[in-house]
Structure 1
Amino acid sequence: MKKSLYILIALLLSAVMYGCSSSGAVENDADNNKENKPTITLAETNWTSTLVPTEIVKNILENMGYKVEGQQAELGAVYTGLSTGDVDIFMDSWAPQQNQYMNEYSDTIERISASYEDARAGMVVPKYMEDINDVGDLKGKEDMVNNEILAISESDPAMEDLQDIIDAYNLDVEMINSSEGAMLAAAKAKIEKKEPVLLYGWEPHSMFQLLDLKILTNNKVPEIYGDTSVHVVVNKGLKEKAPKAYKFLSNWSISIDDMEDMITKIDNGQNPEDVAQTWVENHQDKIDKMKGD
């Protein structure tokens, strides 16, 4: 009888000790407990190249059990938010165009993966401008485009590079800065009339499919906009705050073909969340590898 009582007491003590140790493990690893997982903030600009990967990653992180919030801002404010920790992730950091921000906030932010490394940017014209294929071909013919180049917000660092190209070729053109949408609307109006037009463009973007454009070569200063890549940037605190999210994003990648296909669908009126959901459903094996499952 005593032996049975001793065995029962030992079993009860083991159960209590196991329960305590298990409870402590959960409390010390909030990233494994769906109820205690932190809220993650994704920065959003108004660029279509930001919208697509942001929607996809939001979908995946929510499936991992995180609550995800979006914060829209101009590029400078995005990096300021990343540096202070008010923003955790930005999915559309272009290099070298945005290197100035990476250098300024290097103590608190980091690039942890490349979404794609074969992005392109530069001066763009419609394909029907058959005699204009390099930036140098514009010299002396600037009046054909009304001595102007349509561009995005002057606060974007890429506009400094664009001005450097204008100066390098000594082109007689003025930069007309506006939003991405306004720039494309103005270009579309000219293209519908088959008029010459010069604008700033980048890939991936639906403009090349929808407006039948081409990026001009830049043989004089090829280092400008050359070897462009796009990265995921995070606040350095994310690694401790949400280690599983950090690991997933460290392995993140997506093809330019997929990007342009989805951007075009969204520009044609499809819901961004639905487009992202379809990509997630069709790439689950890839996503599992990025998560390390």
Structure 2
Amino acid sequence: MSFRKISQLIVLTIILFALAACGSNSGSEGSGSTSDESKEKITIGQINWPENIAITNMWKAILEDKGYNVELKLIEMGPQMAALAEGDLDVAPEVWLPVQDKSYYEKYKDEVNFFEDPWYENGKVGLAVPKYMKDVNSIKDLNENREKFEGEITGFEPGAGTMIITEEVIKKYGLDYELVESSEAAMITSIKNATENKEPIVAPLWKPHWVFSEVDLKFLDDPKKVYGEVEKIYMATRDGFAEDHKKVSKWMKNFKLKDKQLGELMVNVKNNEDNPIKGAQKWVKNNQDLIEKWMK
């Protein structure tokens, strides 16, 4: 090979190395801090309940404003608590105590961080019927009216704390009823269809829930207090979350909502059912003073 050809080959090799180096440098600049991969990621469990959808989207809106990458995982209560214990989920935002989710608290209290203070203090749970059912006012009245309800209690997702407690209600009151599993959305549809036609229906419900603002319902008296009385809602996080996300853990511990605030948040989200984050963002924008208190 001639000296001229060797020289040309050397020059070509140098150019190729230079181009490769430039490509490598430009690639590292392209993976800047604005990508989702570079943000701190937080996963929050979500259940298809109105207040849960509202709260999870509210936290997604708040945290993404602060630069976090938030993923909402739609997962029912039992698997959600298991995922929290295994470290596959960061936050479970809705644990009802002292009664509804007692079984999950007892099972996972040594593996999961349950917050000491609740974020909501005025919850109520029980069996509800339409107000036009004048002769049914207590759980004790259900067996006498079994034929009206066809021996069915219209329920929602299996594994939810309230569904577990409702099975206990059936046993402790000796009810000759079957608890029918479905979904929260299907249960609400059944309630609305029944009330529109003035038909009997009984279902396990809870407040806060927007259905009480649209349908005239009443809770049945629970003389044995199986559902408990006032329920409080707590947050829970995986072990180590407070160390990994100190600021977020502190914000969540400061988090508190009253009836009016939660009601307005739920309405905003419900009005944007196709895009719940939009409703949550609107509420966040209108409640900056409150949110700033949580951020202290």
Is TM more than 0.5 here? yes
- The answer to whether residue 271 in structure 2 is matched with residue 230 in structure 1 is no
- With 97-106 and 193-202 compared, the bigger mean Cα shift is at 97-106
Question: How many Å apart are 1:163 and its aligned residue?
Answer: 1.9
- The answer to whether residue 162 in structure 2 is matched with residue 158 in structure 1 is yes
Question: How many Å apart are 1:269 and its aligned residue?
Answer: 4.8
Residue of structure 2 aligned with 1:108, choices 107, 111, 128: 111
Retained in 2: the 8 A contact 1:139–1:169?
no
Match of 1:183 in 2: 187
Retained in 2: the 8 A contact 1:119–1:256?
no
Match of 1:144 in 2: 148
Larger-Rg structure? 2
What is the SS of the residue equivalent to 1:114? coil
Q: How many residues align?
A: 258
Write out per-residue CA displacement over residues 63-89 of structure 1, whole angstroms, 9 at most, x where no aligned residue: 222111111212111111111221111
- With 35-44 and 278-287 compared, the bigger mean Cα shift is at 35-44
Question: How many Å apart are 1:55 and its aligned residue?
Answer: 0.7
What is the SS of the residue equivalent to 2:166? helix
Retained in 2: the 8 A contact 1:118–1:227?
yes
What is the TM-score when the length of structure 2 is the normalising length?
Answer: 0.81
Write out per-residue CA displacement over residues 129-187 of structure 1, whole angstroms, 9 at most, x where no aligned residue: 12322212324122111221101123223222112222222222221111111112222
Retained in 2: the 8 A contact 1:149–1:176?
yes
Residue of structure 1 aligned with 2:206, choices 202, 208, 212: 202
Retained in 2: the 8 A contact 1:161–1:225?
no
Residue of structure 2 aligned with 1:214, choices 215, 218, 221: 218
Retained in 2: the 8 A contact 1:38–1:241?
no
Partners of 1:168 and 1:105 lie apart in 2 by 26
Retained in 2: the 8 A contact 1:121–1:201?
yes
- The answer to whether residue 291 in structure 2 is matched with residue 287 in structure 1 is yes
Match of 1:46 in 2: 48
- With 96-105 and 84-93 compared, the bigger mean Cα shift is at 96-105
Summarize the Cα distance change of 1:288–1:265 in structure 2 as closer, same or farther, 3 Å threshold. Answer: closer
Residue of structure 1 aligned with 2:258, choices 255, 258, 266: 255
Match of 2:277 in 1: 273
Retained in 1: the 8 A contact 2:124–2:207?
yes
What is the TM-score when the length of structure 1 is the normalising length?
Answer: 0.81
- With 241-250 and 274-283 compared, the bigger mean Cα shift is at 274-283
Partners of 1:102 and 1:225 lie apart in 2 by 16
Which sections of structure 1, spanning at least 5 residues, go unmatched?
1-33
Partners of 1:107 and 1:186 lie apart in 2 by 39
What is the percentage of aligned positions where both structures have the same residue?
Answer: 31
Match of 2:14 in 1: none
CA RMSD of aligned residues (A): 2.0
Which sections of structure 2, spanning at least 5 residues, go unmatched?
1-35
Summarize the Cα distance change of 1:286–1:266 in structure 2 as closer, same or farther, 3 Å threshold. Answer: closer
